[in-house]
Structure 1
Amino acid sequence: MQEDTDMSELHNKIGLRRWLWRAYVQSALLPLVLVETVLIACYLLSNQAIRDAQVQYLEQNAMDSLSATADQNAQIIQDHMGHVAANTDLFAHMVEQALANPAHTPPERFATTADGARYSPRNLGGAASFYSAATPLEKQDLGKVGSLASLDSLMEEMKNHQPLVASLYFNSWDNYNRIFPWFETQKQYPHDMRIPEYSFYYLADAAHNPGRLQRWTDVYLDPAGQGWMTSSISPVYRGDFLEGVVGMDVTVGGILEEISRLHIGWGGYLILVNQEMNIMALPHAAEHDFDLQELTGHDTQEAVKSERFKPAGFNLGMRPDTADLAKTLAKAPNGRAEIDLKGRTHLVAWNEIQPSGWRLVALADKSEVMAATNNLAGHYRHIGYLLIAGLVGFYLCFFTYMWLRARHLSDRLRDTIDGIADMLRQIGLGQWQPRRAESRILELDRMAESVLVMGQQLGISENQRNAAQQRLELVAESVTAGLWEYDLEQDRLHLRGEFVARFNLPGCELLRHRLHPHIHPDDAPRLDSALNALRLGVISRIDLELRFLAPDGSEVWMLCRGRKLELEGEATHTLVAGTFVDIEKLKQVEEDLLQRTREAQAASQAKSRFISSISHELRTPLNAIHGFAQLMHMQATQTGADTQSLDEILLASGHLSQLVDDLLDWSSLQAEAPKLTLRPVNAGRMMHECAEMVRGQAETVGLELQVRLPEAPTHVMADSRRLRQVLINLLSNAIKYNRPGGRLLLGVEPCDEHLRIYVEDGGEGVDPALQGELFEPFQRLGKENTAIKGTGIGLSLCRELAELMQGRMGLHSELGVGSRFWIELPLANTPSSVGRVERSGRPRVIHLDDDEPSRRRVARALAGVADVASLDHGGQLAEALQQGLPDMLLVDLGVDGASAISQLNGIEGGADVPVVMLTAKPDPSWLSFYAFRAVLLKPIDVEELRELASSLLVKEEPHVH
């Protein structure tokens, strides 16, 4: 196993050449590569950042240019359309004047179709006329036709000066159409054509155009056979009657021809969209992106018998691929955006053409816009790749050179290091002057010199060690009884020193069992157990007290100490070395001290039993004295006699009773610490209960008790009865040692993982020099001869109780200002048990009385102070006592009271429960048989009962045994 470990460690070591190469790589090559990599990364990142900035700039520039182009071209289109609209209004005005004047030209010669439609059969260089058969021949107004004939020259001039205008026309309410230039209307128009049903008429009527303004129609198929077009129309009124509508037709082909003259760059194009998002003009360059082919002509010779608009495919909002574009265009009259068409991102800019509300939309493929920038970015990226390739080639050559250099250096260093290692090997074998190794490296040469000096010093040290070892053995033999060694593998002991001769033992190695006859039979197993544990590796040290048997049969105590030693030699083995020390005199002193301790404990227990006995013996006559004094005070009060002497007796007996209770508590703590049950206690509720118990006492001396409870329910680990005793004691002291009108405060503050409850008064304070003595028993700091009564035990009891509850107690006091006493308890971490503890936290009082008003007054007086169980006859007491002893018994002897007291005294610990007699007619003879703690006259004084309960409920039964 050891050889495998050595081989494993050997494999984990590296040679000098490899170590140098690693050092080169880690300290020089890797940092250089890292720096170069960071530089190239910075170059690539900066190049990318510059490219992104350029792309962003060019995108913005392209978008600005596209927007400017859209604005400029929209203005051009708007100018053309504006001229058309203005001429339309002029044409409408001239028609109104012509219709208002009678005809001055001879009527035209018309032909009539078989279906009853009237038309102009020949081209006379003017306009064509068509009267639909929807108006009977006899109702056709030829006078109107003659009046309009005077406008043919005007229509011709307007047509010639407006390249976009394909034709001009007038349509009347009675289905008459006059259109320029002339064509064979009877072949193109349906014979029964109802003109008011077409958009180029009804869009100008009163319902669609109440303002009588110029309007533009949607793109529709021209009934005159000129293909798809839009019309600029304007109404012609005679008074309030719509006589007809004039219009100028602009073909889609004409619009496309005009748009094609406008240049936007980057292979982009312009489209024209109306307010309903219908494409009015789609150039050839856009047909691929929109999967549409513009409609510019009519491929049939049939007449257009009904109104026809462009198909739904030309509406951007009704196509899934252009719905987003339609929403974008509808948001604002002008703007810019990016959209996807055919999977390619396009830059879009648009502007509104007034007053038609059309939008001229400019589109350009983003990839075409950014093509030059992307080519430049690719060029710089290739430069970066070339730099990386050059760097890799350079470092391959550099690494090769460094590897050869490391190999040469390692060979030179290895020769010198092997020489120094050989010197150390010879020194290890005891040859203190080995052959010196030589090296041209100054540090290695100095190392060889140092090894040579080290060998000389080791030789000197070895001689000194041998001498010191001899002296050490002499000293060890003088301070110990003997030395011993134990070989774990051979289970043999080697003893030497005075110990060997003293107990007549052999001075050489001996087996363990041969030592047993010289050890006390009770101690030999302990020695065997310790040596076996050493052999098993369970322990590495032993420390035993053994009794050895002297040759005369006497017993001598010896301290046997030793520890395990790992020795390295030709073969590794383990020894335990130790000493024997004579501790016979120490054992005698220890036995003497133990005997004296037992005597002191017996005296302390006798004192505690004496104090407890005296206290119990004093309590019985004191209860009788106090009870008789109370009865006499009641009788004297009823007869109006002087009660001053009785008041003194009551005051003195009460003081003596308190002294006896304090002595019992103190003696119980001194004799044996009580077993406290620490459970979560609601600190706020406990503080409130204690405050209510002493509030009457405070108000009697003119003090106002202020209480600052925790903001949220907070629980501490404590014994609820003992915590109440501590708080009542602190509050009572604060009341007794306060000044009239002084401060009286019960509060709480957090303190790390604890809660600090404090009582603060406005008394005279405690001198800092005397604060250390304040918690000593029977110490009142000079208040013994004052009118303030006390025993000096209360604070000592409180501190001991606080420590038993794993807390602590202290004070902060200033002379002339006041004092703050506090108890600090750990916070509870088990809220799940809080509910159960809180229900049993209050004192339990049994009230035996058949007077219902008296029971109600007692319950009201002890509300918030104790849990009261009201019984109306003595038979219920046995059931109540099964739940445990009460903290106080209130009894009226007229209701089985004597039986109740006997039941209580018959239970273990029941005689220590305070009993208070309630009576309407006191009988002094009762006090001869029962020990009452107090007597209260009915009807009960609520404040008197509350104050009495506050003083009695905090007293705990003594735990003296």
Structure 2
Amino acid sequence: MVAHGRLTFLFFSATLPLITVLFGAWSGSLLLVSGMAFGALWMPPVGSLAVLQHDDRIVLVAYALVGAFLVAAGQQLAKVARRAGSAEAATQEATDRLLQVERQARHRFDVALDSAGVPFVILTPVVREGRIAEFRWDYLNKAAAQLFNQNAAVVIGSSTAYVRPAGWEANMLLERLTPLAQRPGREAFDIRVSGENGEQWFHVVAASLDGSVVAWFGDVTPRVRAEQALSEADRRKDEFLATLAHELRNPLAPIRHVAEILEQPNLTEERRIWCISVLRRQSAAMALLLDDLLDVSRITRGALKLRKEAVAMREVVDEAVEIARPILAGKGHELVIKPPVRPLHIEADRLRLAQVLANLLMNAAKYTPPGGRIELAATADDAEIVLSVTDNGIGIEPDKLSAIFAMFSQVNRDQHRQGGLGIGLALSKSLIELHGGRLTASSGGKDRGSCFAIHLPATSRVLPMPAPTRAALAVHASAPKRRILVVDDNVDAADAMTAFLEMQGHDVRTVYSGEEAIELLGEYNPNVILLDLGLPGMSGLDVARRIRATPSTHDVTLIAVTGWGQQQDRARTTDAGFDFHFTKPVDIAQLTQAVDSAVAAP
């Protein structure tokens, strides 16, 4: 029992510092007093607080002293603990504050980059065997994430070798960004990609960042397309001006030749009448050319007004055929007209509708080899009225169908084959749209002919008026054949040149196509060939090359007579083997000198 009491006494002593630290100095002091009382109770006499023996008193005093010391030590430990707790709390508070600041900064960073609307990425290089093998996507803003077909969370951490925007090339990214990952720097460049939305262009600004690379990707597709459109418009403008000069020279050439013929003293009445006819036709051709230019200007400004009236479709067809007849006859085409089953009358601007139809006929004649077949048909049903012009000419390739109605474009953009300003179809399309209709084109492909159709709404039909029935018209013209060979598909120009040269005493033969020229050379051996470059089918350049490649005609003098007079055109004629290059209208003195020098040659 005594031993048990002493153990308990010792237990009280051992817990004094802990109690003091946990509950304070008063708790420690109370426990100390309780321990002393407990010890006194267990000292003889047991059960009494009186301590009679001297040794027990010494023990009790020692306990009191040691206990007081332990309480004091516990009190100091409590103070130290409180200070440590305060420091820890302050540290935790500072840590929380820093985390909050970091979260806010990251949030502001994300909001700022996302609100910019411009793709922004951070890429980290992946090094293998001492070199950068690929990059890893470490950050993407919302705009950048939209470039991918996957969620941004999936992209981040992925390799550029496997995950990248559609159409982007891994090698391109690696090649462009590797130098920035290896050394500090900044680079701006443009890239072109072919994605799901077609061809796109991005302006990239990339910079080094602690071994990584940051990059902005600005979508500049609208700007690039606008620049391309401006460049294309500028190119078309230059082509148009060159073509305009060419087309104006064409009618000027026979006019100038006719003027020279009219000055000859031995001019017959028949020849004079013919000269007047040529002047009228060619001046009319120039008038039509200028009218087209004016009409385009009026339509662009919205100043062109239609003068609609009730008109018989047959009248429109007859007027269009009359306008196109010279070129149809000059190229020996067969024109077949298929009128509607019943008389057809519409409310339209007769002049403008005939102008469009004539333009389609002349285009068909221009792009159909000599002796071709052209069909003009008119049909009507409850939905619409259709006027179609079909030919068996050179046709239109499928990828060019969508562009033929653009301003300053041509069905076959080859300046040495076909003439025209490239505004006819664009003008025709606008005129038909002013009538509430549409102009369409179709073709089976190259050398399979084409069909252009005017579609007018059925509402444009009006009550019919009596009109005489006329049979379908067929136009046939055979090219006449006359030591000088003149080759030109402009009949008036060729005949005028032939007449002038014949009056100079030369033996002249005349043909109107390159194929005819090659065929005639088998039986006719000229010293000089006057060759137009803009021939249908086989161009003048092709004919010249064939002539130079044939031993029997290798030494013939070749004179280019053309409306194309730019430096690049002269370079082409030189390469093809021409000896002279004259632009229309030809200076007669220069031409005579060139012909005389050739005739004098052995």
TM-score, normalized by the shorter chain, greater than 0.5: no
Q: Which structure's CA Rg is the greater one? A: 1
Larger relative contact order (C-alpha < 8 A, sep ≥ 6)?
A: 2
**TM-score normalised over the length of structure 1:** 0.20
